[in-house]
Amino acid sequence: MPVTGPLAHPLRAAAGLAYEVTCGVSAATHLVRMSAGRPVSPDPGQLRPGIRPEPVLLVHGLGSNSSCFGKMEGYLHAQGYTVYALNYSCFGADIAACGRDLAREAAWLRHQTGSESVSVVAHSLGGMVVRWSIAHTWMGDWVHLVVTLGTPHRGTPTARLAPSSLPGFGKIISQLRPGAGADDDALPERPGIDTRWVAVAGEHDWVVPPRCAHLPASPRVRNVTVPGGGHLTLPNNGYCLQLVLEELAAAERQHRASGPCSAAISPEDASPLSA
């Protein structure tokens, strides 16, 4: 019999916290095991074509893979979206290296689908990788919507728990500490960039607390806190699924209203701005 009344919310919160702790311990154990072993090349992501014109790129977080978006991937594809949940490795890399890989994957997706633009949903570290790509490659010219889920835009205190010497991951984790530099919360600004950012935080996220996951107020920014949401459950949280769907629909309407862009589709889209 389901619990109702005044006890319902505390019990749900306790159950959610227990699940987060269990998943967190499992993820930490997996990360340590990966750091102790040899790096393994990630499997290629899966492109699932849909009937809607603009593809959605799903970017996972640290030590994870595309499976973290299992429910969201199926949900968006069922709504007609072309979905690409990529896999990438951050073993021995920093945010810039991951950002360059992401830009190449995004340019490939744009080329494969023939779309002028791409929308992105990123979890945790994935959001920081997306920010680097938009700031330092041509992705900023054709990514019009980014939804970040539990991304440490302002750094996160939990990154201090891992030593900088942790094999394979110490460097990139140290970039996520408050004040480390990678948490510069100013969004990329240059002519032509009009990316809309939706920064989603989980109310019960102890890995990246809401104050760390939100962006500074801006006409291009929407900050949202998911009631009862935890870090590892955000990608498949029902509230997040609906929010992502609403934002994608709004971006599609805006794109139709503004008309097609003139940018050509080229592998050079993934090149650094300074190239």
Provide the residue count of the chain.
275
Amino acid at 66: S
Q: Considering the domain boundaries, does residue 195 fall inside one?
A: yes
Q: Considering the domain boundaries, does residue 45 fall inside one?
A: yes
Measuring CA to CA, how many Å separate 249 from each of 119, 145, 243, 245, 252?
Answer: 11, 11, 10, 6, 5
Give 179's pLDDT tier (boundaries 50, 70, 90).
Answer: confident
Q: Determine what percent of the chain is predicted with pLDDT higher than 90.
A: 62
Q: Considering the domain boundaries, does residue 235 fall inside one?
A: yes
Q: How far apart are CA 167 and CA 147, in angstroms?
A: 30
Q: Considering the domain boundaries, does residue 267 fall inside one?
A: no
The whole-chain average pLDDT of the chain stands at: 83
pLDDT at 115: 94
Average pLDDT rounded to a whole number, residues 169-177: 93
Q: Considering the domain boundaries, does residue 102 fall inside one?
A: yes
Question: Looking at the predicted structure, is the pLDDT value of residue 237 above 50?
Answer: yes
Give 20's pLDDT tier (boundaries 50, 70, 90).
Answer: low
Q: Considering the domain boundaries, does residue 137 fall inside one?
A: yes
Measuring CA to CA, how many Å separate 108 from each of 87, 113, 146, 245?
Answer: 14, 9, 18, 23
Question: Looking at the predicted structure, is the pLDDT value of residue 33 above 60?
Answer: no
Average pLDDT rounded to a whole number, residues 6-23: 50
Nearest Cα to 203, choosing from 238, 181, 228?
228
Which residues does 100 contact at the CB level (< 8 Å), separation at least 6? 133, 137, 270, 272
> What CATH number corresponds to the domain at position 35?
3.40.50.1820
Question: Looking at the predicted structure, is the pLDDT value of residue 18 above 70?
Answer: no
Q: Considering the domain boundaries, does residue 44 fall inside one?
A: yes
Alpha carbon of residue 43 to chain centroid: 18
**Residue 143 in 3-state DSSP?**
strand
**Residue 27 domain boundaries:** 9-258
pLDDT at 8: 42
Question: Looking at the predicted structure, is the pLDDT value of residue 260 above 70?
Answer: no
DSSP character at residue 137: B
How many domains is the chain partitioned into structurally?
A: 1
Q: Considering the domain boundaries, does residue 93 fall inside one?
A: yes
What's the pTM? 0.84
Amino acid at 210: P
Average pLDDT rounded to a whole number, residues 29-55: 69
The segment with the largest mean pLDDT, out of 18-22, 37-41, 142-146, is 142-146
